[in-house]
Amino acid sequence: MAKTMFEKIWEAHLVRPSQGDTAILYVDRHLVHEVTSPQAFAALRETGRSVVHPEKAFATMDHNVSTRTKDWSLVEKTSRLQMETLQKNCKQFGIKLYDFSDEHRGIVHAIGPELGITQPGMTIVCGDSHTSTHGAFGALAFGIGTSEVEHVLATQTLQQDKAKTMLIKIEGTLKPGATSKDIILAIIGKIGTAGATGHVMEYAGSAIRKLSMEARMTICSMSIEAGGRAGMIAPDETTFEYVKGREYAPKGGMWERALAYWKTLPGDPGAKFDAIVDLDANTLKPQVTWGTSPGQVVSIEDKVPDPESFTNPVDRTAARHALKYMDLQPGTPMTGIKVNKIFLGSCTNARIEDLRDAARIVKGKKVNKDVQAIVVPASEGVRRQAEKEGLDKIFKDAGFEWRFAGCSMCLGMNDDQLKPGERCASSSNRNFEGRQGPGGRTHLMSPIMAAAAAIEGRISDVRKYL
């Protein structure tokens, strides 16, 4: 029978099929960070259990780190305790840690791919919902809770029910100014933030094939924002080219064997999906959110919608709540909404390609005087590469602050936060109430759209800068 890529990877990792209870799925790689792991390690200690495969786990600290300094001076006391707890746990259980000062440290979903830890055909989990990012390599990757982190550490497996499958077909060619961020925002706008609940999403079609790995990761990272259990993209030459030569990638004869296997991963012709969604890349315009859920999104040419225009009463109420929180009036054109902060960062959109594209927009221009703009590279590796290319100088000359790597203002666990009432043009992934700081207001958009907003001090159509 014809199989989808998800079904192939699922079957290859099935330790025990469900017998009216639950399946047990093997986990190839477990990524660990400081926020969702301390209680898991503590529970292992309490129950006298051990980490069965420390060599399959990789840890880093990203959520709490200050992006202003490379020392502890700006790290809040409880954050520091959490980071030191991770150091202690990794040491005790023998887990490789990309520590505070390590040159490879970064957002966990950036360093996995960069170091070649992430490979096609793997099962990858992490106590973080944006683990779906790694699906861009043709891996089955998803976020788990802390009890599941403990379960993986103790058994290298997870109790899992087989998900349904959803095919997202994106055909055509993106026009200048439209990016992979706009693809995923448009999909979430179309199917809703619960549209893919219970499903593993596979993105396919001619528009996906043309995308770089960085752009594919952007799409997969936000699968969770559509409710998806995971998001994945079939591996191809672009994928293999990216993985080859990286630190943990297979080498020599092993590379050839791995490659031969990876080429068998794409779904078979005729494989059936439980749901299919289409999106036309040719007509896609830059997208921007107006509300407090990623599905509350329109094109840059549109206006803030009127809550009364929603036929579903639940959507209507949600829109009313959102506009009140966002302090926006129905009918206001999206272009022209004033912003105070620009955040170029996150596991969704702070890779080298994102920084190159944004730098091209701001080169030779100045950040609006009423705006604070920060660039937070996804990893120290990205930061060094950008500096090698002189991107830091372009950003700094324009008036951006150039920071060290971390999750930063995507969720504001460190000292980068919006103040109440501040409005941010953000390349991140969530516009929830208070997400970037209590009372802060977030408009999600692509990195180049955020760059255009930095120059104008208001939400703008990036296409006029191309």
Report 54-113 residues binding another protein (CB under 8 A): 63-64, 76, 78-79, 81-82, 85
CB of 147 to another protein, least distance (A): 4
278 binds another protein (CB under 8 A): no
Is 323 or 362 the residue whose CB approaches another protein more closely?
323
CB of 354 to another protein, least distance (A): 22
Is 116 or 399 the residue whose CB approaches another protein more closely?
116
The Cα 120–Cα 260 span in angstroms is 11
307 binds another protein (CB under 8 A): no
Is 107 or 352 the residue whose CB approaches another protein more closely?
107
What is Dmax (Cα atoms) for the chain? Answer: 63
Cα–Cα nearest to 296, from 449, 175, 165, 441: 441
Query: Phi and psi (nearest 5°) for 413?
Result: -85, -20
Is 177 or 345 the residue whose CB approaches another protein more closely?
345
Among 141, 258, 361, 450, binds another protein (CB under 8 A): 258
CB of 436 to another protein, least distance (A): 9
CB of 368 to another protein, least distance (A): 28
Among 3, 22, 190, 389, binds another protein (CB under 8 A): 22
Is 251 or 396 the residue whose CB approaches another protein more closely?
251
- The answer to whether the CB of 412 falls within 8 A of the CB of 418 is yes
- Window 380 to 439, contacts with another protein (CB under 8 A): 411-413, 430, 432-435, 438
Helix, strand and coil percent figures for the chain, each rounded to 5: 35, 20, 45
Q: Name the one residue in this structure whose structure tokens are 């803030």.
A: 304
> Which residue type, as a one-letter code, is found at position 32?
V
Is 88 or 366 the residue whose CB approaches another protein more closely?
88
Range list of H helices, 236-367: 237-243, 252-262, 313-326, 352-362
Applying CB under 8 A, the site for another protein has a residue count of 76
Is 292 or 299 the residue whose CB approaches another protein more closely?
292
Is 49 or 463 the residue whose CB approaches another protein more closely?
49
CB of 398 to another protein, least distance (A): 29
Is 149 or 454 the residue whose CB approaches another protein more closely?
149
* Strand pairing class (401-402; 57-60): unpaired
CB of 57 to another protein, least distance (A): 14
Range list of H helices, 244-334: 252-262, 313-326
**Packing angle, helices 180-191 and 213-221, rounded to 10:** 20
- Window 148 to 187, contacts with another protein (CB under 8 A): 148, 150-151, 154-157, 159, 161
Binding mask 180-219 for another protein (x = CB under 8 A): -------------xx--xx---------------------
The Cα 260–Cα 265 span in angstroms is 10
> Measuring CA to CA, how many Å separate 144 from each of 37, 79, 136, 151, 445?
11, 21, 18, 10, 26
Exposure b/e, 294-308, CB count within 10 A at least 16 = b: bbbbbbbeeebbebe
Among 31, 32, 36, 382, binds another protein (CB under 8 A): 36
Would you list the DSSP string of 311-329? Answer: SSHHHHHHHHHHHHHHT--
> Measuring CA to CA, how many Å separate 102 from each of 55, 85, 96, 392?
18, 17, 11, 20
116 binds another protein (CB under 8 A): no
Is 108 or 207 the residue whose CB approaches another protein more closely?
108
309 binds another protein (CB under 8 A): no
- Window 315 to 374, contacts with another protein (CB under 8 A): 315, 317-318, 321
134 binds another protein (CB under 8 A): no
Among 16, 272, 324, 388, binds another protein (CB under 8 A): 16
Among 69, 103, 145, 283, binds another protein (CB under 8 A): 145
Q: What is the dihedral of CA 243, 244, 247, 250, to 10 degrees?
A: 100
